């Protein structure tokens, strides 16, 4: 497999060196598939990514072992499983027996409302980020449920678990008033995937007005100090238009003008560090999760820039 053919100073070439130096096998395989694989049609790149992802799969059909770096330990968690679905979706493998096994796990850990908790109590006793506390009882969370339902529905997966989970997400999204950026991201992931496009567009329009009213997106990165960071977030943990609209096709893209999106993408491109990677903005609580998260953030930054036609190399 060849490396990048562009200039050694290009964003992609610099990121490639960072990935080989720091990333887990999964992120190395993902980077190679998305940016170095010249023969995606052969399926070898997909198989390599899926093989690396399988190392995190548990016997119950969920995923664990720190797949989502802020949750440690050998137990399945909804946020790990949402991460796995994003990886599978990105390589076109979010279907068939894989999805069936995942849905069995989701059914087993669901709350009485048929939704997912952000953190399942099985994590108790294992290290985890303090901003993702383990509660005594599992509470339904749009943060965990929205992205999972959106990805499964976008991939035309049909399973009994999805009916009540979809109803929960609709009710949660359409009732949002007091919210925060990560919950908005989860809502967007849901709305971008559900088949009822007219209802999704109406809900997204209302949510976009809420985001602007609550100033949950920094519209001018040069004036970040004018935007309040939500309670519990790290200092400087702002969100920008590109965080909500990761691809131009997202419903969240309509929330922002061309100028606002251009400034956001300029800011994203400019955040590449000297070592070639992008920074993690959420609160650091242990060295390992930060090291493991940076390659993930780097891959997503490059994918977003490329989706908007920005030159990466």
pLDDT tens per residue across span 138-181: 799 999 999 999 999 999 999 999 999 999 999 999 999 999 99
Q: Which three-class secondary structure state does DSSP give residue 272? A: coil
Angle at the Cα of 15 from the Cα atoms of 185 and 256, rounded to 5 degrees: 30
pLDDT at 1 over 50: no
> What is the arithmetic mean of pLDDT over 206-219?
98
Query: How many CB atoms sit inside 10 A of residue 215's CB?
Result: 11
Report residue 189 as tokens.
């992931």
- Predicted TM-score of the model (pTM): 0.95
Best CA proximity match to 288, nearest among 66, 131, 28, 56 = 66
More reliable by pLDDT, 7 or 168: 168
Q: What is the pLDDT of residue 112?
A: 94
Confidence of residue 40 (pLDDT cuts 50, 70, 90): low
Confidence of residue 4 (pLDDT cuts 50, 70, 90): low
- Residue 113's contacts (CB-CB under 8 Å, 6 or more residues apart) are 140, 164, 168
In whole angstroms, how far apart are CA 184 and each of 76, 172, 212, 273?
A: 24, 11, 12, 27
Paired strand residues for 71: 128
Give the position of tokens 């562009």. Answer: 6
Number of helices (H) and strands (E), helices first, in the chain? 12, 0
Q: Do 72 and 292 meet the contact criterion of CB atoms below 8 Å apart?
A: no
Instruction: Specify the range with the lowest mean pLDDT, choosing from 13-27, 34-48, 170-184.
Output: 34-48
Provide the CB-side half-sphere exposure for 313 (13 A, CA): 20
Q: What is the pLDDT of residue 36?
A: 94
User: What is the residue-averaged pLDDT of the chain?
Assistant: 95
Q: Do 280 and 61 meet the contact criterion of CB atoms below 8 Å apart?
A: no
pLDDT at 198 over 70: yes
Report residue 23 as tokens.
């990333």
Q: Which H or E element spans position 143?
A: helix 142-154
pLDDT at 92 over 50: yes
> What is the arithmetic mean of pLDDT over 281-297?
96
Q: What is the pLDDT of residue 6?
A: 56
The rounded radius of gyration (Å) of the Cα atoms in the chain is 19
Confidence of residue 43 (pLDDT cuts 50, 70, 90): confident
């Amino acid at each position: 497999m060849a490396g990048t053919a562009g200039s050694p100073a290009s964003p992609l070439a610099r990121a490639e060196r960072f990935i080989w130096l720091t990333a887990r096998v999964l992120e190395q395989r993902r980077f190679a598939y998305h940016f170095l694989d010249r023969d995606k049609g052969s399926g070898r790149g997909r198989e390599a990514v899926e093989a690396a992802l399988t190392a995190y799969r548990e016997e119950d059909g969920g995923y664990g072992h720190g797949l989502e770096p802020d949750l440690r330990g050998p137990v399945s968690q909804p946020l790990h499983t949402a991460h796995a679905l994003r990886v599978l979706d990105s390589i076109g493998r979010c279907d068939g027996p894989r999805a069936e096994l995942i849905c069995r796990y989701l059914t087993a850990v669901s709350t009485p409302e048929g939704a997912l908790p952000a953190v399942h109590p099985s994590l108790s006793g294992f290290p985890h980020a303090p901003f993702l506390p383990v509660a005594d009882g599992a509470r339904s969370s749009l943060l965990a449920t929205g992205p999972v339902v959106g990805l499964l529905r976008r991939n035309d997966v049909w399973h009994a678990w999805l009916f009540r989970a979809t109803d929960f997400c609709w009710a949660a999204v359409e009732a949002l008033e007091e919210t925060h950026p990560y919950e908005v991201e989860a809502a967007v992931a849901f709305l971008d995937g559900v088949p009822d496009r007219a209802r999704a567009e109406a809900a997204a329009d209302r949510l976009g007005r809420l985001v602007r009213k609550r100033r949950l997106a920094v519209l001018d990165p040069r004036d970040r100090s004018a935007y309040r960071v939500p309670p519990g977030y790290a200092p400087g943990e702002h969100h920008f238009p590109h965080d909500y609209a990761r691809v131009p096709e997202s419903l969240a893209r309509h929330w922002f003008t061309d100028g606002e999106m251009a400034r956001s993408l300029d800011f994203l491109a400019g955040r590449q560090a000297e070592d070639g990677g992008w920074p993690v903005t959420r609160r650091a609580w242990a060295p390992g999760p930060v090291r493991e998260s940076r390659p993930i953030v780097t891959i997503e930054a490059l994918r977003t820039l490329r989706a908007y036609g920005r030159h990466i190399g």
